[in-house]
């Protein structure tokens, strides 16, 4: 019995060590973001009880750089991507889940293939295409490719779920004279809320966290999303202002951490069912 207890305790010990590595870095960032920048560089481990300050956030948000604007840009880009992806993937997944038609397997193959492209393998022709369409440097120039990159995942996730829904409700709705669109938006959509939520959060996360595409397409500071602008700031300030840097990291990470803890069930489920994308 005691031997078993030791085993169990050591299992918890190992798991706790890894847990500390995954959460302590964020706690460190958070406590230091409320410290005076001269305190961070000598004493970064203590909790700022006496010297609590919001200066770092103030200088990050109201300083020389338009972080507000960057936040807004991120929200415009990722919000639009989520909206368009959900809209078109709802119709597509409905078609795949409910209809039998020739070429359905081909469509599946196309969708799976489109989850495989590394962005590296399309970026140069994409850049030229966006220049030709006069979209380079504009939000739409990031939104459209991001929709293309995420739509296959959302469609496959949603079609799997819609297929598993019981048929009886729709059947009676059809008998009562409802049309396809009424069935889709009044019956299927409300029943698929949890899957739609998974897809939405997941697409938002990818879009918000993407650096490569946004960095290449949006080079003007007023158009940049939050992660690209913060990288820009850090390379210009050369890491001299610790307070600003810590607040900057906190500013990118906090919205995601909040969203994550509120909706973690949907996120973990969505990410694993979208495992193919990697």
The alpha carbon dihedral of 186, 191, 195, 198 has a sign of positive
89, 203 contact by CB (below 8 A): no
Least separation, in Å, of the C-beta of 9 and other proteins? 11
Which of 1, 2, 49, 118 touches other proteins by CB under 8 A? 118
Least separation, in Å, of the C-beta of 193 and other proteins? 20
Least separation, in Å, of the C-beta of 232 and other proteins? 10
Locate 45 and state its tokens: 């481990």
Nearer to other proteins, 69 or 148 (CB): 148
Which of 124, 134, 194, 222 touches other proteins by CB under 8 A? 124
Number of residues in contact with other proteins, rule: CB under 8 A? Answer: 99
Residues in contact with other proteins, shown as a per-residue x/- string from 95 to 114 under the rule CB under 8 A? xx-xxxxxxx--x--xx--x
User: What torsion do the CA atoms of 134, 135, 136, 137 make, to the nearest 10 degrees?
Assistant: 120
Considering only residues 189 to 248 of the shown chain, the ones binding other proteins according to CB under 8 A are 205, 208-209, 211-212, 216, 227-228, 230-231, 234-235, 239, 242, 245-246, 248
Which of 117, 186, 236, 262 touches other proteins by CB under 8 A? 117
Locate 13 and state its tokens: 């010990």
Give yes or no for residue 174 binding other proteins (CB under 8 A): yes
Tell me phi and psi for residue 87, to 5 degrees: -60, -55
Measured CA distances, 119 to 60, 83, 116, 153 (Å): 31, 21, 9, 15
Considering only residues 135 to 154 of the shown chain, the ones binding other proteins according to CB under 8 A are 144-145, 147-149, 151-152
Least separation, in Å, of the C-beta of 62 and other proteins? 20
Distance CA 204, CA 64 (A): 28
Q: Give, as one character, the DSSP assignment of residue 138.
A: S
Cβ contacts of 89 within 8 Å, gap of 6 or more: 151, 154, 155, 158, 199
Which of 43, 172, 185, 222 touches other proteins by CB under 8 A? 43
């Amino acid at each position: 019995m005691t031997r078993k207890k030791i085993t169990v305790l050591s299992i918890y010990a190992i798991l706790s060590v890894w847990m500390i590595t995954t959460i302590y870095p964020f706690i460190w960032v958070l406590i230091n973001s409320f410290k005076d920048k001269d305190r961070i560089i000598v004493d970064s481990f203590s909790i700022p009880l006496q010297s609590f300050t919001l200066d770092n956030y103030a200088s990050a948000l109201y300083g020389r750089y338009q972080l507000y604007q960057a936040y807004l840009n991120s929200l415009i880009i990722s919000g639009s991507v989520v909206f368009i992806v959900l809209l078109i993937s709802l119709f597509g997944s409905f078609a795949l889940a409910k209809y039998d038609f020739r070429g359905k397997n081909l469509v599946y193959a196309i969708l799976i293939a489109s989850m495989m492209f590394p962005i590296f393998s399309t970026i140069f022709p994409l850049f030229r295409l966006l220049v030709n369409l006069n979209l380079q440097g504009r939000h739409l120039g990031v939104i459209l490719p991001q929709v293309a990159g995420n739509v296959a995942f959302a469609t496959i996730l949603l079609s799997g779920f819609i297929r598993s829904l019981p048929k009886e409700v729709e059947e009676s709705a059809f008998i009562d004279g409802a049309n396809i669109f009424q069935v889709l938006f009044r019956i299927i959509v409300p029943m698929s809320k949890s899957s739609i939520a998974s897809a939405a959060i997941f697409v938002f996360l990818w879009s918000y966290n993407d650096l490569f595409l946004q960095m290449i397409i949006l080079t003007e500071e007023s158009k940049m999303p939050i992660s690209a602008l913060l990288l820009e700031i850090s390379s210009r300030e050369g890491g001299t202002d610790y307070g600003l840097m810590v607040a900057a990291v906190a500013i990118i990470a906090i919205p995601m951490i909040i969203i994550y803890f509120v909706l973690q069930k949907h996120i973990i489920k969505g990410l694993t069912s979208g495992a193919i994308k990697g």
